Structure 1
């Protein structure tokens, strides 16, 4: 989501080059990235276009797994900084088929490896959405389908509908999930059990809590220069989250590691985890993150992070 926003095309291509060189192969984007950018007119699709030009110039389509999403409103920004009101959005059959066609064109590919619904559309029956996605898979335009930002009951509804009607089924979910409160609770309270029971891959976004767990935010200190700084202050500043950050920094110091590596290593130690999604504006930032794949927390370190970020489970939940 940084590409075309906080990272221009040259920076994005350098980051992707470094990512692949380090052994990475999954690149996740969305059609609406990055309509919120204030850098001129941005109708969405800019990130997909950057990734598409990069794959074409590197001739590496077969070496990367491309994941993108559908749901949000596309279109040029209006004079007041909002999407033009005539733009359509949602998860109707008509919009999904058109959006997929557009994403394929922007990416310059014949198929999308993982096509995800970005969030729920309350105006469209889940059966209509799954039927359209199934048609895309059977036509060869999409390999697998997934979802993002679904609650546990919505996820179960989709899995049940696929089973009942013979539709393609979601193979993954992309939730917000990290050590910080309340995102850990939001995921582990119910969704994690659904994923474990039905074998869904978990590819969480914002595993570093929009940068909060990188160590650049500190108690009683001025905000760093960041396009996401205000989001951090509104959503992350709490006593528990400061305590979580303190523990992350403590372990990072003991292991001579970057704080972000510790936060990512905690996620990777979760048995049901597939791959946290990281974002980088520069190659230097990426190089701070990638060693997390090799960082193995001790049982004591893992438990310390579990306890400081813990949430109170009810007796009913504990007995499940």
Structure 2
């Protein structure tokens, strides 16, 4: 018998692999009208060789099934390289990029904001209305006060949101943000490899209604078009949705959470149900579909040049959960599976993410054009959807290595 995940994929894949037809959408906070579909992609192109587009939640944004992640710009990636990556991405059908006030990652005062500045210098020569620009305001933090003029602790309240938005707009050189996301919650939640909720870490937090009222202000002022969340739980999503409905405040249209072959259960177990179009219609922007590069297989040989230059080794302790023994075992199994079916590890990992019926767009970052080219080619060249036999083999490995980054 097929697993519930396999059955869900088979039942819904057909509906989500068809591209949206071209349509006119509002592209500025002041109701300017223009198509969001890039001029390099047309409805006449073969679906197997062109990126497809999906509506993001309840918004009027039609976004490409790949989102360009930019968190390496200013840390591993120079401004020239960033411009080359941005140009290649948008020339090849990507129409959405994701940044954050905290970028580049790992966070530090000396480099904070460089990602936005690199994007801004590229944006000057681009048609702004053709680009969906997503960014993020930091959640609770006691270590990142340098992001604010007069705050020792970052909170998701009116003052922090306003300062974050105004500084982001200035750095990015634009007068509106298409999607503003809360990078991580104001309240305590289990984050970034923490495997379960610890009640002893509960702390008072900014009420959901106050967060939404603050977001409403920047929306009303035309600085933000839509809002979303990131690294969020089912409880948080439901509270935001319920509060918005009861108070007449903006509804979140997206959630940006970790999702890959190595990180599945947290989203699949109940967030899928919450975010379903038939329920609250919140689009998933899945980050780290390659698990920080681990699923490429480059870290299996720790002495290889690719491994030495990879983020997991460049920044000791960073994302180390992807390189633990059990996660490595699972990665090896997926590499072997890819070889069995005549695929590269990248094709397997990105093909899997691409076909998940609950993912609106996969966030793919790159430190070079060649790396991005490989990722886009893998996304498009892999049979759509993945063959049933391969999908079943993936589920067999998943049953044996269920979210191995947690152990």
Pairwise TM-score range, normalised by the shorter structure: 0.7 to 0.9
1:234 maps to which of 287, 307, 320 = 320
Structure 2 CA distance for partners of 1:85 and 1:271, relative to 1, 3 Å:
same
1:244: Cα distance to partner?
3.6
Q: Does 1:145 align with 2:227?
A: yes
Distance 2:326 2:153 in 1: 41
Distance 1:269 1:305 in 2: 13
1:184: Cα distance to partner?
1.0
Aligned-partner SS, 1:275: strand
1:75 maps to which of 146, 150, 157 = 146
2:354 maps to which of 268, 289, 300 = 268
Unaligned regions of 5+ residues in structure 2, if any? Answer: 1-70, 188-204, 403-407
2:344 maps to which of 258, 263, 286 = 258
Structure 2 CA distance for partners of 1:205 and 1:74, relative to 1, 3 Å:
farther
Quote the RMSD (CA, aligned, Å): 2.6
TM-score with structure 2 setting the length: 0.68
Distance 2:336 2:369 in 1: 25
Q: Does 1:61 align with 2:128?
A: yes
1:4–1:37 Cα contact (<8 Å) kept: no
Structure 2 CA distance for partners of 1:41 and 1:241, relative to 1, 3 Å:
closer
Aligned-partner SS, 1:310: helix
Distance 2:318 2:398 in 1: 17
2:72–2:105 Cα contact (<8 Å) kept: no
Aligned-partner SS, 2:237: helix
Distance 1:37 1:71 in 2: 11
1:134-173 map, 5 Å: 134-173=216-255
Q: Does 1:102 align with 2:167?
A: yes
Structure 2 CA distance for partners of 1:220 and 1:118, relative to 1, 3 Å:
closer
1:47: Cα distance to partner?
0.8
1:253: Cα distance to partner?
3.3
Structure 2 CA distance for partners of 1:110 and 1:255, relative to 1, 3 Å:
farther
Distance 1:241 1:228 in 2: 13
Partner of 2:392: 303
TM-score with structure 1 setting the length: 0.86
1:247–1:305 Cα contact (<8 Å) kept: no
Aligned-partner SS, 1:202: strand
Aligned-partner SS, 1:34: coil
1:10-29 map, 5 Å: 10-29=80-99
1:142: Cα distance to partner?
0.8
Aligned-partner SS, 1:59: coil
Unaligned regions of 5+ residues in structure 1, if any? Answer: 77-82, 314-320
Partner of 2:180: 115
Distance 1:265 1:232 in 2: 26
Structure 2 CA distance for partners of 1:186 and 1:284, relative to 1, 3 Å:
same
Partner of 1:79: none
Return the structure number with greater strand share.
Answer: 2
Structure 2 CA distance for partners of 1:99 and 1:220, relative to 1, 3 Å:
closer
- How many residue pairs align between the two structures? 302
* Greater Cα offset, 139-148 or 214-223: 214-223
